[in-house]
Amino acid sequence: MGEAIDRPRIEAAVRELLLAIGEDPERPGLERTPERVAESYRELFGGLARDPVAELGDPVPLGATDAGGATTSDTVIVRDLAFRSVCEHHLLPFLGTAHVAYVPDGQVVGLGRIPAAIDALAARPQVQERLAEEVADALEGALAPHGVLVVLDAVHGCVTSRGPRQTGSSTVTVVARGLLAEPARRAEAIALIGGRADA
């Protein structure tokens, strides 16, 4: 995918927005704001030009097998991955933590590739519920695992900064598929995400 950001149009729109709220875009302090916003949007929405499955890279085959020829790796869990996105309803940020688990079917991805895929999906106008689904879709597309679990816990600017201003609130979304949608496997994976390896 190519570059999706049109900086001159963003700068013009920000100037118009400043005028619409009664500000002077030429006053000191605001004169470079359109340029700064365009640069920040390049980063915040750069995921529109990135393919999350490509970010996961080439799968790595698992070498270890049991006596029956099945791979011995059960569940891979990557916890506490920080992410940030922008709510598509109000264009306000939401910041959170992602936890991802999957049951490999003979292949895995590099651990650093999972946060790269999450970043590609989060760096676009989003809603948290869809983001969790898209992370699961990317893992399924890259690996065809036996199961996927994605847990996102985020604080939303549209909840903390406007309306009821619930500053202590966070939102949790869970997507479970395949083996990890089975109640016992899902509960075990969520317990491991919570740090209780003995659960």
Burial class (CB in 10 A: 0-12, 13-18, 19+), 180: buried
Residue 92 falls inside a structural domain: yes
Mean predicted confidence (pLDDT) in 68-93 = 86
For residue 189, what are the domain limits?
A: 59-193
Active site residue 99: no
Query: Does residue 33 sit in the same domain as residue 115?
Result: no
Query: Does residue 110 sit in the same domain as residue 149?
Result: yes
* Backbone angles phi and psi of 182, in degrees to 5: -65, 135
Question: Is 84 assigned a ligand-binding role in the annotation?
Answer: no
107 and 143 Cβ atoms separated by less than 8 Å: yes
**Which pTM does this prediction carry?**
0.88
Among residues 88, 129, 166, 182, which one is catalytic? Answer: 88
Query: Does residue 130 sit in the same domain as residue 179?
Result: yes
Label the pairing between strands 147-156 and 125-126: unpaired
- pLDDT score of 69: 55
Among residues 55, 128, 146, 188, which one is catalytic? Answer: 128
Residue 135 falls inside a structural domain: yes
Among residues 126, 146, 156, 188, which one is catalytic? Answer: 156
Question: Is 140 assigned a ligand-binding role in the annotation?
Answer: no
Instruction: Take residue 97 and report the two structure tokens written for it.
Output: 């933590």
Residue 120 has pLDDT above 50, yes or no: yes
Active site residue 158: yes
Average pLDDT over the chain reads: 91
Beta bridge partners of 108: 60
Residue 121 falls inside a structural domain: yes
Among residues 89, 129, 166, 182, which one is catalytic? Answer: 89
Mean predicted confidence (pLDDT) in 7-34 = 97
Query: Does residue 23 sit in the same domain as residue 91?
Result: no
Query: Does residue 118 sit in the same domain as residue 157?
Result: yes
- pLDDT score of 167: 84
Residue 54 falls inside a structural domain: no
pLDDT tens-digit series, residues 126-163 = 999 999 999 999 999 999 999 999 999 999 998 888 87
Query: Does residue 18 sit in the same domain as residue 91?
Result: no
Residue 66 has pLDDT above 60, yes or no: no
Query: Does residue 73 sit in the same domain as residue 145?
Result: yes
Active site residue 88: yes
Active site residue 140: no
**What total of structural domains would you count in the chain?**
2
Query: Does residue 25 sit in the same domain as residue 70?
Result: no
Short-list 178, 97, 167, 179, CA closest to 132: 97
Active site residue 146: no
Active site residue 89: yes
- pLDDT score of 171: 94
Residue 162 falls inside a structural domain: yes
Query: Does residue 100 sit in the same domain as residue 12?
Result: no
Residue 25 falls inside a structural domain: yes
Question: Is 87 assigned a ligand-binding role in the annotation?
Answer: yes
Query: Does residue 106 sit in the same domain as residue 162?
Result: yes
Among residues 11, 55, 87, 134, which one is catalytic? Answer: 87
Active site residue 107: no
Query: Does residue 23 sit in the same domain as residue 121?
Result: no
